[in-house]
């Protein structure tokens, strides 16, 4: 649900992230509560840690009754920069009972990001014609996917998750393969696996839903305290 937003935090931070903490819930459509993993969430919050103490906070929800609401703020030591929603026109109304835009924001992503899609297509075609690199590489997309998988794991287990855990679970079927990835420049340093041969038995993709059946993170803490 938040893969693009997580990708945007990496772009805005200008760094590769370190770890992530996520929590999700269902408030709007209770019929999705039985879906696997994070598919059961319609509302979620993530905190992404970056180097030098930089934190990114992402709040997402599947429903917005007043339009396609996507905003971003970056707070720095010298000030703040913010992006607002895009409206069909710039007209504003000022009355004794209302002050604001005459229209709601665009309610569909193709309407809001029309110019962005055109620019994206032009950049892709330019790279084909000139045989040059595209602005966003396949690794950028892969890193964003790993970030979202780590958020899913964090929400299921109730803890901070480092991104190399995901690489080890998904890409390492043997210590040799982990070693190859660890020495490869494909992934950022914080994403490279660190397992040794001793950890081979731990290289298994966890079943998120089974973990929930076995007991939540808070439930396990209560068992340790009260038993």
Kindly calculate the radius of gyration of the chain based on its CA atoms and give it in whole angstroms: 21
Q: What is the pLDDT of residues 37-77, one digit of tens each?
A: 888 999 999 999 999 999 999 999 998 888 899 999 999 99
Q: Tell me the average pLDDT across 132-160.
A: 92
Please state the pTM of the whole predicted model.
0.76
Distance CA 222, CA 115 (A): 52
Share of the chain above pLDDT 70, in %: 82
The whole-number pLDDT of residue 201 equals 47
- Residues in a beta bridge with 36: none
Alpha helices, DSSP H, located in the chain: 3-13, 109-112, 114-130, 138-157, 163-171, 175-182, 208-214, 217-226
CB neighbour list of residue 140: distance below 8 Å, 6 or more residues apart: 7, 10
DSSP-derived 3-state class of residue 59: strand
β 161-162/55-61 pair status: unpaired
The whole-number pLDDT of residue 197 equals 45
CA triple 48-50-56, angle to 5 deg = 40
Number of Cβ within a 10 Å radius of residue 223: 10
Report which secondary-structure segment, H or E, holds 2: none
Q: Tell me the average pLDDT across 14-41.
A: 92
Q: Tell me the average pLDDT across 120-132.
A: 94
β 43-49/55-61 pair status: antiparallel
Q: What is the pLDDT of residues 161-213, one digit of tens each?
A: 999 888 888 777 776 777 777 677 777 888 877 755 455 444 444 555 555 55
């Amino acid at each position: 649900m938040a893969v693009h937003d997580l990708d945007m935090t990496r772009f805005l931070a200008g760094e590769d992230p370190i770890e992530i903490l996520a929590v999700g819930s269902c408030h709007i459509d209770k019929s999705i509560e039985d879906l696997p993993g994070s598919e059961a969430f319609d509302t979620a919050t993530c905190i992404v840690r970056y180097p030098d103490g930089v934190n990114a906070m992402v709040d997402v929800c599947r429903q917005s009754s007043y339009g396609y609401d996507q905003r971003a703020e970056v707070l720095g030591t010298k000030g703040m920069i913010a992006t607002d929603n895009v409206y069909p026109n710039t007209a504003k109304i000022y009355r004794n009972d209302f002050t604001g835009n005459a229209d709601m924001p665009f309610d569909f992503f193709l309407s809001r990001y029309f110019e962005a899609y055109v620019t994206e297509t032009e950049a892709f075609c330019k790279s084909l014609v000139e045989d040059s690199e595209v602005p966003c590489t396949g690794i950028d997309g892969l890193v964003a996917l790993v970030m979202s998988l780590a958020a899913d794991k964090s929400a299921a287990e109730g803890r901070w998750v480092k991104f190399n855990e995901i690489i080890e679970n998904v890409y390492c079927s043997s210590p040799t393969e982990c070693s190859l990835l660890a020495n490869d420049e494909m992934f950022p340093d914080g994403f490279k696996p660190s397992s040794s041969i001793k950890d081979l038995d731990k290289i298994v993709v966890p079943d998120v839903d089974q973990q929930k059946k076995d007991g939540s993170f808070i439930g396990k803490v209560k068992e340790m305290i009260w038993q």
